[in-house]
Amino acid sequence: MTWWLRAHAVGASAVALAVCFVLAPLFSGSALDVPALFTGNAGSVSVPLLLPLVPACALLYGMDRPPHAMEDTAVRPLHRGQLTVLASAVCLGGLLAALESTLLDFPLALAVVRNLAGYLAVGLLVRRAFGPVYATAAVAAVPVACGLVGSGPGGGTRWWAWPQHDASSVPAAVEVGVLVLAAACFARTRRP
């Protein structure tokens, strides 16, 4: 099991998750300006909502780090272990977000966890459909695309641009829930 944890870079992913939740409250007032393509107004994306990209990409990278030929001969079904690591990361993130929300009065803490779960779900779906090479690139492209075309009239955020919404957004939570459900359904099927 120790070999499996090292081969899948679980330690590095745990460090990335911890760094994400340490830096999120520190950057709570910062935002990145993103040009909007269709509205003419420059939008902004809060930096804490972008920080979950780091642990999500680290976790997705760790899933495909060892050669598949070695894992195909394993006695235990390894996809369950990979999904357990991802679910544990989201649960640990939820625990850290609850602590930050109550102890530090950080209002975006639950949005950081929502974005982590959403980024992982997008990565799993892209990994399943197009292969592991494109998973991390697609995850990184989601907030960029939402920043470019997700700004609505008057500087608001469109309903489908879930990475930009705050923690109290119900449409963003529903969208991420649907993405996680779809990723879980596809993860249970075997690739041809």
* pLDDT score recorded for residue 174: 95
**How many domains is the chain built from?**
1
Q: Where in the sequence is the domain holding 127, given as residue range(s)?
A: 2-187
Residue 72 lies in a domain: yes
Residue 156 lies in a domain: yes
Three-state secondary structure readout of the chain: CHHHHHHCCHHHHHHHHHHHHHHHHHCCCCEEEECCCCCCCCEEEEHHHHCCHHHHHHHHHHHCCCCHHHHHCCCCCHHHHHHHHHHHHHHHHHHHHHHHHHHCCCCCHHHHHHHHHHHHHHHHHHHHHHCCCCHHHHHHHHHHHHHHHCECHHHCECCCCHHHCCCCCHHHHHHHHHHHHHHHHHHCCCCC
Residue 192 lies in a domain: no
Residue 150 lies in a domain: yes
pLDDT in tens, 91-130: 999 999 999 999 999 999 999 999 999 999 999 999 989 9
Instruction: Give mean pLDDT in consecutive 10-residue pieces for the chain, a chain of 192 residues.
Output: 78 93 92 74 82 94 74 65 88 95 92 96 92 90 86 76 90 94 80 50
Residue 128 lies in a domain: yes
